[in-house]
Chain A
Amino acid sequence: MKMGFDILIVGIGGQGTILASNVLGEACLVEGRSVRGAETHGMAQRGGSVESQIRIDCEFGPLIVPGTADLLIAFDLLEAVRYRHYLKEGGEMIVNNQLVLPTSTFTSGQAPPTEGDIIGMLKGWKVSIVDATAIATAAGSPLATNITLLGAASHTIPLGLESLLEGVRRCVPKKTIPINEKAFLDGRDAVQP
């Protein structure tokens, strides 16, 4: 049965969920721990809903069973709602305070849900909503939003701070290391442990 720590990272194709999951994988390598991951490829660049699963200390398959994830990191409010059932009871959610409406809501003429509607749908869950894009932009680039969210989630992730930062350094483009380190730490400061 389940022993490790399972994290689901969700978002929209192109937002950098895969890079975020790579940071966690590298951090596990730093600590010499086993890790499994699964992710959406193929049409991922075409703006669809995407997910990355990361299982720390796992030696089995890469899939997380719904209702058992320890942590959900969502890059978008709507995606947080779409995947909230993956969390176990008492599991934690770190959500970017951003809502990108799917094009289908406009073309179909549906009344699009508002941010308020969606935040309402996360009631009852252990949620931290983080303005990660703003924090990343202040740190030097909105492209560091993914790393900011990891920072915000880092209190819960059972990996050392230095290992996570090393993971960041290994995965982001060299020139952007200082920005991403700052984004990570600012993200970490934005959430109370």
Chain B
Amino acid sequence: MERKYLLGNLAIADACREAGVDFVSGYPGTPSSEVIERLRLVADEIPHLEWSVNEKVAFENALGAAWCGCRALVTMKHVGVNVAADPLMTSSYTGVTGGFVLLAADDPFAHSSQNEQDSRIYAGFAKIPCIDPSGIQEAHDGMKRAFDLSEEFGLPVMVRPTTRICHSKGDITLGEPATEHRVGEFTRNPRQYVVIPAHTRPLHKQLNEKQPGIKKRLIEEGFNTQTIRGKKAVIAGGISAAYAREVVPEDVSIATIGAYPIDEEWLRTFVSEHTEILVIEEMMPVIEGAVLEVACGQAIYGKKNGYLPYEGEFSPAVIAGALKKAGFISEELYPAVTPAENLPVRPPILCAGCMHRSTFYAMKKVFKDGIFPSDIGCYTLGLQLGAVDTTICMGASITVASGINLCGEERDVVCTIGDSTFLHTGVNGLINAVYNGADIVVVILDNRITAMTGHQPNPNTGKTACGVSSIPLSLEALCHSCGVSFVETVDPYDLTLLLDTMKKAKEEKGVRVIIARQPCIIVARREGLKRRRFMVEPETCTGCLLCVKYGCPAIEFHDEKAFINDLCSGCAVCADICPAGAIRQEVKR
């Protein structure tokens, strides 16, 4: 037993080691990525570990391993579950033999996401157990037990931490990593693994028959708890339970929900002991729905009658507000505050020397009237440069571009997509665009890595998650084989060539692909890249602001002159932009 101060995701990763996980797959996505990033560091003790090309692929790989009796973990962010939803929904019918855990990390408040969907709904939809921890220790312990539960019921189990668990820290107690691992062995059983209608109908019945046992077990295991202290009660789930414990008065009962499905009898007993109940959970009213089903005359306060919001993340302050509104407390617990107004904002920004910036610059220059669908990655920050018009989900830039082009819109459509996103689900859109006659320019922003989530390798990188060399995929050959004849690869630091290639593409018809290739500047610097910085000659600078508008964080403007700061990585693009020739490389010092 070791005590550590640990990030939630690292505690979750360590729990998987303690459970003896044999097979690990996933696709990076905030706030889930650090689980595999941690396990990568001990890859030699895990029989198989990979970053997969997308969540569906990751899920099915892990499922195959679990069908062979191995303990398998698959990780993704909440929206990744949408991609993996197809196998998920039927994997509960087939069940598993080895413990199979789906880590679905939710992101209330969309700190780093495109929506605030609630994975508990998926677990209920698929009829699998869902563990919803209120803190890091619970996340660790729950993750470990999830493998046992999965094997006990022969079902996939979802573990669903939220951002404030994945990315929070605490003092926690860890166990010892398991030392033994299983070797997978497939036992043929078509009635279980081949879901033709004749097989799937009885499998569905079996799945339904498992439910009462699961509900009982979750109570016995102590995932859901109740403490009766008065006639008023709070029922809180996930991290809201931790916030509630901080602010709920001592004469108010409290029930905490740490796993689903909830046993109705257990819940009815608790509800019937009270006259008024406040239900507290982020996002969807899952617990509230269950409470309303068993309530019999009690006043139930929750989202449905406006005591708490459906969106955003909660905090002790939000809960204190609901307690006050429901009359559970009489005074405000927290002071009213006034944030400073009109401060310059400081959003995340593309790095100095990022290859995306020059690509966006050239795109905007050549396609002045263009429409710019984009995708999910660091390059979504191209929004600040006016070069991102749409972003909806992974792999949707080429497809949305096709739709815009094929519906009668006459302007040029130039879409951008990163290498990892292209390989995730973008390539299908390219195949479709060629096949169905779209007339678009596709710019693949190829920085050789999955950058935004922390630089995970992908098939384009030439390295696996375990650091083993692999054959890097050829984007050019892939695009050609999809039927694209215009495939041009350019170095985005070469502004002249980049502009010429864009102009050339503008003259052509059909699907045209430009691959802008330059390693991610963070990775390049980490690997030892050193380039001399650039500087502005003040006497030559005319203060025209063209370099400043380029939006590089290395370029400042003081006293009517541009100035290049320490962030400069020496990419040289601003020197090409400057009409006065005032920007040049620093002389060696």
A67 and B452 contacting across the interface, CB-CB below 8 Å: no
Does B553 touch A at the CB level, under 8 Å?
yes
Does A66 touch B at the CB level, under 8 Å?
yes
B162-201 at interface with A (beta carbon < 8 Å):
164, 167-171
**Chain A residues closer than 8 Å to B5, beta-carbon distance:** 22, 25-26, 28-29, 35, 37
CB within 8 Å for A63 and B164 given contacts A85-B340, A107-B549: yes
B31 and A67 contacting across the interface, CB-CB below 8 Å: no
**Chain B residues closer than 8 Å to A85, beta-carbon distance:** 337-340
Which of A44-52, A146-154, A156-164, A174-182 interfaces with chain B? Answer: A44-52
By secondary structure, the A interface counts as mixed
**Chain B residues closer than 8 Å to A102, beta-carbon distance:** 344-347
Select from chain B the residue with minimum beta-carbon distance to A27: B5
Does B243 touch A at the CB level, under 8 Å?
yes
Select from chain A the residue with minimum beta-carbon distance to B31: A41
Does B30 touch A at the CB level, under 8 Å?
yes
Which of B256-264, B328-336, B426-434, B440-448 interfaces with chain A? Answer: B328-336
B549-589 at interface with A (beta carbon < 8 Å):
549, 551-553, 555-557
By secondary structure, the B interface counts as loop
B112 and A42 contacting across the interface, CB-CB below 8 Å: yes
- Cα-based distance from A84 to B338 in the complex (angstroms): 9
**Looking at the complex, which one of B34, B167, B317, B553 makes contact with A103 (CB distance below 8 Å)?**
B553
Select from chain B the residue with minimum beta-carbon distance to A80: B340
B164 and A38 contacting across the interface, CB-CB below 8 Å: yes
B340 and A46 contacting across the interface, CB-CB below 8 Å: no
Does A138 touch B at the CB level, under 8 Å?
no
**Looking at the complex, which one of B31, B333, B334, B340 makes contact with A84 (CB distance below 8 Å)?**
B340
Select from chain B the residue with minimum beta-carbon distance to A26: B5
The minimal Cβ–Cβ distance linking B526 to chain A, given in whole angstroms, is 11
Does A192 touch B at the CB level, under 8 Å?
no
B337 and A67 contacting across the interface, CB-CB below 8 Å: yes
**Chain B residues closer than 8 Å to A2, beta-carbon distance:** 246
**Chain B residues closer than 8 Å to A37, beta-carbon distance:** 5, 168-170
**Chain A residues closer than 8 Å to B557, beta-carbon distance:** 106
Does A88 touch B at the CB level, under 8 Å?
yes
**Chain A residues closer than 8 Å to B339, beta-carbon distance:** 66, 82, 85
Report, as a range, how many residues of chain A touch the other chain.
35 or more
CB within 8 Å for A78 and B344 given contacts A39-B169, A63-B316: yes
**Chain A residues closer than 8 Å to B336, beta-carbon distance:** 67
A17-45 at interface with B (beta carbon < 8 Å):
21-22, 25-26, 28-29, 33-45
Does B231 touch A at the CB level, under 8 Å?
no
Per the CB 8 Å criterion, the residue count for chain B at the interface is: 57
**Chain B residues closer than 8 Å to A110, beta-carbon distance:** 344
Does A68 touch B at the CB level, under 8 Å?
yes
B285-322 at interface with A (beta carbon < 8 Å):
315-317
**Looking at the complex, which one of B315, B452, B548, B553 makes contact with A43 (CB distance below 8 Å)?**
B452
A60 and B242 contacting across the interface, CB-CB below 8 Å: yes
**Looking at the complex, which one of A25, A43, A61, A101 makes contact with B135 (CB distance below 8 Å)?**
A61
- Cα-based distance from A66 to B3 in the complex (angstroms): 30
Query: Which of A1, A63, A81 gathers most chain B CB within 10 Å?
Result: A63
Query: Which of B3, B553, B557 gathers most chain A CB within 10 Å?
Result: B553
CB within 8 Å for A67 and B334 given contacts A38-B169, A41-B30: yes
B171 and A34 contacting across the interface, CB-CB below 8 Å: yes
The minimal Cβ–Cβ distance linking B185 to chain A, given in whole angstroms, is 39
**Looking at the complex, which one of B164, B169, B348 makes contact with A46 (CB distance below 8 Å)?**
B348
A36 and B346 contacting across the interface, CB-CB below 8 Å: no
Does B247 touch A at the CB level, under 8 Å?
yes
Does A12 touch B at the CB level, under 8 Å?
yes
Does B466 touch A at the CB level, under 8 Å?
no
- Cα-based distance from A79 to B171 in the complex (angstroms): 28
Select from chain A the residue with minimum beta-carbon distance to B548: A106
Does B504 touch A at the CB level, under 8 Å?
no
**Chain B residues closer than 8 Å to A21, beta-carbon distance:** 169
**Looking at the complex, which one of B168, B338, B351 makes contact with A38 (CB distance below 8 Å)?**
B168
Chain B residues close to A by CB (< 8 Å): 3-5, 30-31, 34, 111-112, 134-135, 164, 167-171, 239, 242-243, 245-247, 315-317, 333-340, 343-351, 378, 381, 384, 452-453, 522, 545, 548-549, 551-553, 555-557
7 A–B contact pairs at CB < 8 A?
A38-B164, A41-B34, A46-B381, A61-B134, A65-B315, A104-B384, A109-B545
Known pairs A42-B31, A68-B335, A85-B338; list 10 more (Cβ under 8 Å).
A46-B350, A46-B351, A46-B381, A47-B348, A60-B242, A61-B242, A61-B246, A82-B340, A102-B347, A103-B551
Interface pairs A-B: 3 shortest CB-CB: A48-B348, A46-B348, A25-B5
